[in-house]
Amino acid sequence: MNIANPLTARGNDLTHIIETDRAHIWHHLLQHKALETTDPRIIVEGKGIRVWDAAGREFIDAVSGGVWTVNVGYGRESIANAVRDQLIQMNYFAQSAGSIPGSLFAEALLDKMPGLSRIYYANSGSEANEKVFKMVRQISARHHGGKKWKILYRERDYHGTTLANLAACGQPERAALYGPLPAGFVEVPHCLEYRKQWDVEDYGRRAADAIEEVILREGPDEVGLLCLEPITAGGGVITPPEGYWERVQEICKKYNILLHIDEVVCGLGRTGEWFGYQNFDIKPDFVTMAKGVASGYAAISCMVTTEAVFDQFKDDPSDPLSYFRDISTFGGCAAGPAAALENMRIIIDEDLLGNTKRMGARLTANLKALMEKHEVIGDVRGIGLFQGAELVADRKTKEPVDEKLAQKVVAECSAQGVIIGVTNRSLPGMNNTLCLSPALIATADDIDAITNAIDVALTRVFG
């Protein structure tokens, strides 16, 4: 067997690559029966906001790597060089010791997160969220006599793939086949005003009051954590309504409940702020992040918390179980923080937060223009370059379109050379929201090309 350098893939026999993929690769989120008769998608190159597949077809990537990750775009040599240089100097040592890039990135990151002071490095968003859950359980055992152990999560939110994260998953189709799941995870209602559960004027506060109702039902002394996305991502790009976050924080303070904000999608500029929670003046106890931290150039995630939380894990050095008895093997890989440092420099030097706000406003305007043209668009929502358009069969009843039709819109966009996303086999009967999250470098022409493709696709699918 010849072992070829994958960096020379363009010179390889791509027929062999495709057949080898079909024979051996187990892809994520994919029913493989279809690959018995069609070729798997092989992406061989990326530059800026565009990628090319094995057939040489060019695509505008409007979902930043398929899962909201490549925030600063493809082909960034400076990040690759930063990773290369770091790996030669020191590639890895367990996170029980420190590293130069780990220390420097912590300093740079925390400068953007007032009120937070400690970082725990890991390698995926799922893992970062699981660290929070474990910390809450340890705080419960050591400081609350086993109480304050329950973890609240929100309907339609998503926090990862482990069993604990699936226990905290507000998307039933993701967790359906993996029970029994860990106990102590309790759902609170969603806050999507377009599909409001209460006919009230102040919907944001009413949706937050529903959280208090769950707390009272479960017992305030039993609830230790509320885990929420700042803007729901895969559950339909849900921007919380006015008054929601203020009331949520009042409730957490009232019942001494820690607030965990899952920034795995929104973090590092996606909304035009460094973090999604900063759009709402939230003061969290935990923040987790992953995807955009290094824009996919290296694996890294962070669990960030306060000094008050940190101090609870060093209060009694004589007790061998007083510290956080946990490890993330690849949290010690120095490539992640090295890539993250350069990723952050690019965001700052190229004013990508400002560009995200400007291009986000253009994206919103374009989507609302499409809504005027196409009755099938029932709602447009989101912030910055993180937006969604919900498709409905009837605007009056808000009946969602069939999931297969929403998928067909995605396929029609792909046929035009534009990759968009859609809520995917997560919410029974409600997988009907187109999802857009182009890289933060997107230009006005890119935004127009994306929405023009959606315009054509909607016409082809719905007339």
Contact call for residues 75 and 65 (beta carbons, < 8 A): no
Interatomic CA distance for residues 73 and 76, integer angstroms: 7
Every domain range in the chain assigned CATH 3.40.640.10: 79-349
- Residue range(s) of every CATH 3.90.1150.10 domain in the chain: 14-75+352-462
- The CATH topology of domain 79-349 is Aspartate Aminotransferase; domain 2 (3.40.640)
Strand partners, 341: none
One-letter amino acid of 263: E
Residues above pLDDT 90, as percent of the chain:
94
Task: Phi first, then psi: give them for residue 371, nearest 5 degrees.
Answer: -65, -35
Q: If we measure between CA atoms, which residue out of 226, 261, 248, 238 comes closest to residue 192?
A: 238
Phi-psi label, residue 399: left if phi above 0, alpha if psi -120 to 50, beta otherwise: beta
Query: Exposed e or buried b for every residue in 47-70, given b needs 16+ CB within 10 A?
Result: ebbbbbebeeeebbbbbbbbbbbb
Tens digit of pLDDT for each residue in 309-332? 999 999 888 888 889 999 999 999
Host H or E run for residue 148: none
Q: Distance of alpha carbon 451 from its chain centroid, rounded? A: 22
Cis bond before residue 400 (omega within 30° of 0): no
pLDDT attached to residue 297: 98
What is the pLDDT at residue 320?
85
Backbone CA torsion sign across 210, 212, 218, 222: positive
- Gap between the Cα atoms of 388 and 384, Å rounded: 11
Rounded to the nearest 10 degrees, what angle do helices 352-373 and 444-462 cross at? 30
Q: How far is the C-alpha of 15 from the C-alpha of 39, rounded, in Å?
A: 10
Angle subtended at Cα 71 by Cα 93 and Cα 84, rounded to the nearest 5 degrees: 35
Q: How confident is the model at residue 12 (pLDDT cuts 50, 70, 90)?
A: low
Q: Which residue is associated with the tokens 């007032």?
A: 114
C-beta of residue 453 within 8 angstroms of C-beta of residue 461: no
Q: 359 and 436 in contact (C-beta within 8 Å)?
A: no
In terms of phi and psi (left: phi > 0; alpha: psi -120 to 50; beta: otherwise), the region of 56 is left
Strands 43-47 and 50-53: antiparallel
For residue 42, which of 61, 21, 59 has the smallest C-alpha distance?
A: 21
What's the token pair of residue 278? 């900063």
DSSP string, 173-192: HHHTTSPSPPS-EEEE----
CA distances, 458 to each of 58, 159, 162, 260, 405 (Å)? 21, 31, 36, 38, 10
Contacts (Cβ under 8 Å, ≥6 apart) of 323: 313, 314
Cα separation, 375 vs 389, whole angstroms: 12
3-state secondary structure of 91: coil
> Which pLDDT band holds residue 1 (cuts at 50, 70, 90)?
very low
The span from the CA of 132 to the CA of 110, in Å, is 18
Q: How far apart are CA 394 and CA 402, in angstroms?
A: 12
The per-residue pLDDT for range 21-32, each reduced to its tens digit, is 999 999 998 999
Asked if residue 174 lies in contact with residue 237, where contact means CB atoms within 8 angstroms, the answer is: no
- Banded pLDDT at 463 (limits 50, 70, 90): confident
For residue 7, pLDDT over 60 is answered with no
DSSP 437-452: ---TT--HHHHHHHHH
Given this model, what pLDDT does residue 259 score? 99
Range 159-176 average pLDDT:
97
User: Nearest-CA neighbor of 389 among 428, 424, 432?
Assistant: 432
Q: Is a pLDDT exceeding 70 seen at residue 4?
A: no
Beta strand 258-262 pairing with 223-228: parallel
Q: Which residues contact 173 (CB under 8 A, 6 or more apart)?
A: 425, 426, 427, 428
CA distances to 220, 278, 403 from 217, in Å: 8, 30, 35
Was domain 14-75+352-462 assigned CATH 3.90.1150.10?
yes
pLDDT, averaged across the chain: 95
Q: What is the mean pLDDT of residues 51-80?
A: 97
Residue range 417-438, pLDDT digits in tens: 999 999 988 999 999 999 999 9
Residue 211 has pLDDT above 70, yes or no: yes
Q: pTM to 2 decimals?
A: 0.96
Q: How many angstroms separate the CA atoms of 85 and 91, rounded?
A: 9
Q: How confident is the model at residue 378 (pLDDT cuts 50, 70, 90)?
A: very high
